[in-house]
Amino acid sequence: MRTFMARRRPFRTATTALVALCTVAVALSGCASDDSPDNALAADAALPTEVPGGTKLVIADQSEAQQTVLAASGEADALPFDYEFANFVGGPAILEAFRAGAADVAIVGDTPPIQALIAGQDVPIIAARQSDPNNTRLAVAAGRDITTLADLRGTKIAYAEGTAQQAIVLRALAAADLTTDDVELVRLQLSEFPDAIRTGQVDVAPLGEPNLTRFLANPGTTLIDVSESDGTSTGLSYLYARREALQDPAKAAALRAYVASYIRAVDWSNDNPDEWIQAYYVDNQGLTEADGRRIVESLGPSTFPVLDEALVQRQQDTIDVIDDAGELPEKVTASDGFDLRFEPIIAETVTEVGATRSREDS
């Protein structure tokens, strides 16, 4: 049976319940076993193309974005496997689900895959999506005189390890020749950022959409100008999957099919902005049509980078930013977190729908 989680169910409730389940599973089983089944698909074997009947994927979603774009585009009805969506807020909660075998694939920013490597979890990247690099902005609480990155000195900044927002904060500090000792990093869950910045518990928080638009509706709130913050975000998001799912031939075939469906769905949203704004930003997220349009225009069309060594190097650059700030317990290598076997299906699908591989081509 194909099921979606109930719409409008509070993310914290859904996430907390599943993380609690995952934690128990981890304690009892010691996470995923190192023992592979006899029929495990090797990491260098060709991806199967036939999805056996009864195959199911549990897809970790954030803000119901994947399930909405798949449904609105019609791709959900065409998926050749059974599926279930589970909603989370941030990469750390998703990693707990992977660790307990409670999710198979997820969409995240560029930092959660790094956290997986640090944790010793084999969760390789299987596809990438590129939005405007300035899709996450440094929001400033009402009444704060903070207009430049240099003004961050002495401020309280919302900080969530293992999320893309972590790297954004560290890049911002480095650009201003500041270190983490020059500010107060307030360690929060990603879901706590909007309330923390709205109530003034922190001075600055990196916010993405639609939280950014909701925040700016509060009187006196501002943003650090993009001329200052440009380059603090990569605009990259990744589909990544747990290795145990990739070792299962049936699930590997389903993941191959899912990558293609996801690309087609996102490209549909590029080509049908009015329908996408209504389906997601208005009907799902409760924003106005005008706000939804502003968000879509600010993000720009999504592109699908080549899964190659150049992309691996971009990810290594992010690892180096976090390491240079002293925030990595150990050095990890980006190439250990990619599965390049998915590039042929990405290239085939991009060509099929007429999508683009880089923002320069769009």
Distances in Å between the alpha carbon of 194 and those of 13, 62, 199, 201, 213?
Answer: 17, 15, 9, 10, 11
Measured between alpha carbons, how far is 208 from 356 in angstroms, rounded to an integer? 23
Q: What pLDDT score does 358 carry?
A: 84
pLDDT over 70, % of the chain: 88
Dump pLDDT digits (tens) for 114-138.
Answer: 999 999 999 999 999 999 888 889 9
Q: SS3 for 156?
A: strand
Across the strands, what pairs with 85?
59
Confidence band for 11, pLDDT divided at 50, 70 and 90: very low
Characterize the bridge pairing of strands 136-140 and 204-208.
antiparallel
Examine the pLDDT at 22 and tell me if it is beyond 50: no
Confidence band for 27, pLDDT divided at 50, 70 and 90: very low
Strands (E), 175-254: 184-187, 204-208, 222-223, 236-241
Region 206-235: mean pLDDT is 92
> Whole-prediction pTM value?
0.83
Joined together, the tokens standing for residue 138 give 């440094």
Dump pLDDT digits (tens) for 60-87.
Answer: 999 999 999 999 999 999 999 999 999 9
- Between 18 and 240, the more confident residue is 240
Q: What pLDDT score does 133 carry?
A: 83
Examine the pLDDT at 19 and tell me if it is beyond 90: no
Q: SS3 for 105?
A: strand
Measured between alpha carbons, how far is 311 from 179 in angstroms, rounded to an integer? 27
Cis-peptide into 80, omega within 30 deg: no
Query: To the nearest 5 percent, what fractions of the chain are helix, strand and coil?
Result: 50, 15, 40
**Category of 9 on φ-ψ map: left (φ > 0), alpha (ψ -120 to 50) or beta:** beta
Examine the pLDDT at 29 and tell me if it is beyond 50: no
Confidence band for 162, pLDDT divided at 50, 70 and 90: confident
Dump pLDDT digits (tens) for 238-287.
Answer: 999 999 999 999 999 999 999 999 999 999 999 999 999 999 999 999 99
| Residue 342: CB atoms within 10 Å | 24
Write down the mean pLDDT value for the chain.
88
